[in-house]
Chain A
Amino acid sequence: MVSVLKILGERIAFALAVIFSVLILNFILIRLAPGDPASVIAGESGGITQEIIDAIRKEYGLDLPMHEQLGIYLGNAIKGDLGYSYYFNTPVVELVISYMWPTILLIVVATVMALILGTVFGVIASRKPDGWLSNFLTVFSLIGYSAPPFWTGMLLIICFAFILPWFPVSGYSDVTLDVGPLGHALDILHHLILPSITLALIYLAQYSRLARASMLEVMGSDYIRTARAKGLSESVVFFKHGLRNAVLPIITITGLHFGNILSGAVLVEAVFNWPGLGTLAFDSLLRRDYSTILGLLFFSAVMTIVANLMTDLCYRIADPRIKIKKR
C-alpha cells in the first residue's frame, strides 16, 4: 500500500512538473511572437483600443523585468486565470469550460465505442486467425488508419445524412425543437452518432488488430496450457485466463492515444460543426486569438496528463505486476 501511494505521489509530482513546463512554454511563446506582447495578447479581433492595450500592459506587468512577468503569469495561472479573450469578451477559463463538455462527450463515446467494438472484433477474429473476419480487419484497419477523418466524416455525411437522411448533417442539437430535457438529450445523441463514428473509426480498426494479435499471443502461452491442464472449459480458459491478459496492451495503447484522439476530435468537430474545443481552437487560430489558443494548449496538456494518470490507474488494477515494479 505504501509503495502504491509513493508511486502515485511521484506520478502527480511528475504531472505538475509537466503542467509547469507547458505554462512556461506558453509564456515564452507570447514573448516570441512578433510585435508588442500586449497587442499579441489582445489578439487581432479588431476594436482594440489604446486603453485596452495599456490595461493589458499594466495587468501583465509588461514593463517589468522578465522574471517578474513570469511570476505574475504563473501566479495568475495558479489562481485559475488563464487570460482573457478579447474576441469573446470572456475569461479564457470560462470559455474553455463552456466548450469542453461537447468535446468530452465526443471523445468518451468514440473511445468507448472503438475500445469495446475493437476488442470484440479482435477477439472473435483471433478464434480463426486466417478467417474472413481477420482478413477483413487487416484491410479495414489500413483504410481506417490512412483515411483522414474529414474524408470519412464527409463520406458518412453523404451516405447517412443526404442519401439516407437518418442523421443530422451537423451541429450539436436542434434548437428549434421543443421536446423537454429527455428529448433534448436524445437529440444530442442523434447528432453525436456520425461524429463519434468518424472519430472511432480511426481507432476501431487499430484496436481490433491489436486485440487479435494480443489474444493470439496470450492463447499460445504457457499459463493457458496450465489452465487447460486443470480441465477448465474452453470458455473459462478463453475469458478468465485469456482475455484478462489480452486487454492489458489495449488499455495502454488507449491511454497513449489520448493525445491523438484529442487532435482527431479537432478535425471531426470542424467537419461536423460540433461546438467543442476543436471548433474553438480552429476558429481561434483563424482569428489569431492567442489568449484562447494558449489557454486551450494548456488545457489539453492537463487533459492528456489526467488521461495518462487514469490509464496508469486502470493498468494497475488490471495488472498486479505493476504495483511493485516501477515503470
Chain B
Amino acid sequence: MIDSRQHESTLLEVNNLNVDFNTREGIARVLNGVSFSLQPGEVLGIVGESGCGKSMTALSIMGLVPNPPGKVVGGKIIYDGENLLECTPERMRKIRGNHISMIFQEPMTALNPVIRIGDQITESLLLHQKLSHDDAIDKATELLREVHVPLPEKRIHEFPHQLSGGMRQRVMIAIALACEPSILIADEPTTALDVTVQAQVFDLLLELRQERKMAIILITHDMGAIAEMAGRVLVMYAGRVIETATVDDILQKPEHPYTQGLISCVPILHMGSDTERKSLNEIPGIVPSLTSLGHGCAFEPRCQSRLPRCAIDMPITFDTDTDHKTACWLFEQR
C-alpha cells in the first residue's frame, strides 16, 4: 500500500468544488465544498450512498458535467499545476483520455454498438499519441492482452454486442489505459457485473496499478475492494466530504456517525472471489433532497448522536488525527 503521508508532489488537488444542477424543484447543490488531493500512484477510495455526488466529483475532474442542467460554480481542480476549471475546451480534450481517463459503471452501454472494438481502442491512440494506424492496432491488441481478453487479435474486429459484460468492462479498461494516463478514475466499475466477474475486474485493476504505478480514484460500494486497494478513503454525504482518512482508520476507527453506520456491518474485509462480499450497510432514513437542505448538517435527521447545534450550524472539518479529517461537531473539543 502506498504511504499516504508523503505529500511531496501532489498530482491532483480538488479545492472547494461546488457544482449546481438546475432541477424542476430548484437549484440543487450537488457538490458542496468538496476538497481532497491525490498523490502520484495513490489509490483513493470514494464511498457513500447513491446520489451523494461520487460520480459528479469524477465527472467534474473529467470536465464532463452535463451542462445544462449542471454547472461547476466554484472551486479549483489543479492537475499538474494547471487549474482544469479554467483551461480551454481544446486543452481539456488533450488531458481527457490522455492524462486522466475514466471507466464507467455500465459496461453494457458504455461502448458504441456500431463501431468495432479495435477502432474504439485505437481512437485515443491515434488522437493523442499520433500513432500510425498499424501501430495503433498493435497497441490495441497488446492492451487487450494486458487486460486478459482472450484472443485479442480476433476481438479487435468484433463489435461490443459479441462480448459479455465482464469482457466489455475489460475493453473499457483497455480504452482508459491506452494512453498511459497518470490518473484512472473508476466509477463503480463492477456494480453491473456478476459477483465472480467483479472479483476478476478488481484483481485486474490491482494488477494494473502495481504494474503501471498510476493513481486511481476508485468509487465503489465494495468495502472489500476498498480495503484491499485503497490507501485513503473519502466518505461523501449529500454532496460533501464528511470524513477523510487512511483506509485502516476508516475501517477500524470511523469517526463520523455516518461512516460508522456505513462500516458497522462489514465483517469480511479481504478480497477473494470465494468469500462473500459485503456492501455498504443500510442506514435508516433517506438522503435529504439537495434542493431543500437546511443550514445544519445534512445527516442530522438520521444521526443517532446528534447535538442541538447540528440542526442549525453546518459542521466544519476538524483534523482529528494525522491524516484524519471529520466534518462533525462531535469532534470539536479535540
Contacts and interface: CB of A to CB of B under 8 A. Distances in A.
A320 B114 CA distance: 6
A232 B123 contact: yes
A222 B127 contact: no
A244 B114 contact: yes
Nearest to B124: A230
Contact of B161 (A229, A233, A244, A321): A321
Interface in B178-237: none
A31 interface: no
Contacts of B98: 231
Interface in B78-128: 92-98, 101-102, 104, 106, 109-116, 123-124, 127-128
Interface in A218-240: 221-223, 225-233, 240
Contact of B111 (A226, A228, A231, A232): A226
A241 interface: yes
A320 B161 contact: yes
Given A241-B115, A319-B114, A320-B159, A229 B97 contact: yes
A144 to B, nearest CB: 30
B96 A321 contact: no
B113 A321 contact: yes
Where chain A touches its partner, the secondary structure class is: helix
Given A221-B109, A225-B64, A231 B114 contact: no
A247 to B, nearest CB: 10
Contacts, number: 76
B93 A222 contact: no
Contacts of B96: 228-231
A240 B114 CA distance: 10
A324 B162 CA distance: 9
Interface in B120-155: 123-124, 127-128
A300 interface: no
Nearest to A226: B110
A318 interface: yes
Nearest to B93: A231
B64 A245 contact: no
A215 to B, nearest CB: 14
B112 A226 contact: yes
B114 A222 contact: no
Contact of B112 (A227, A229, A324): A227
Nearest to B92: A231
Contacts of B175: 226, 230
Interface residues of B, number: 30
B143 to A, nearest CB: 14
Interface in A276-327: 318-321, 324-325
A206 B185 CA distance: 42
B101 A229 contact: yes
Contacts of A226: 104, 110-112, 172, 175
Given A222-B106, A225-B104, A230 B127 contact: yes
Contacts of B172: 226
B113 A245 contact: yes
Contact of B114 (A227, A228, A230, A318): A318
Contacts of B241: none
Contact of B128 (A223, A231, A321): A231
A130 to B, nearest CB: 11
B298 interface: no
A222 B101 CA distance: 15
B124 A231 contact: yes
A222 B161 contact: no
Contacts of A324: 161-162
B62 interface: yes
A223 B109 contact: yes
Nearest to A325: B161
A324 B116 CA distance: 15
Given A230-B96, A230-B124, A230-B127, A223 B161 contact: no
A226 B101 CA distance: 10
Given A222-B110, A226-B175, A318-B114, A231 B161 contact: no
A245 B112 contact: yes
B127 A223 contact: no
A7 to B, nearest CB: 16
Contact of A223 (B94, B112, B124): B112
10 contacts: A223-B109, A226-B104, A226-B110, A226-B111, A229-B96, A229-B102, A230-B96, A231-B96, A245-B114, A319-B113
Given A222-B106, A320-B159, 5 more contacts: A222-B104, A226-B175, A227-B123, A231-B96, A241-B115
Q: 4 shortest A-B CB distances, which residue pairs?
A: A231-B97, A230-B97, A231-B96, A222-B109
Interface of A: 221-223, 225-233, 240-241, 244-245, 248, 318-321, 324-325
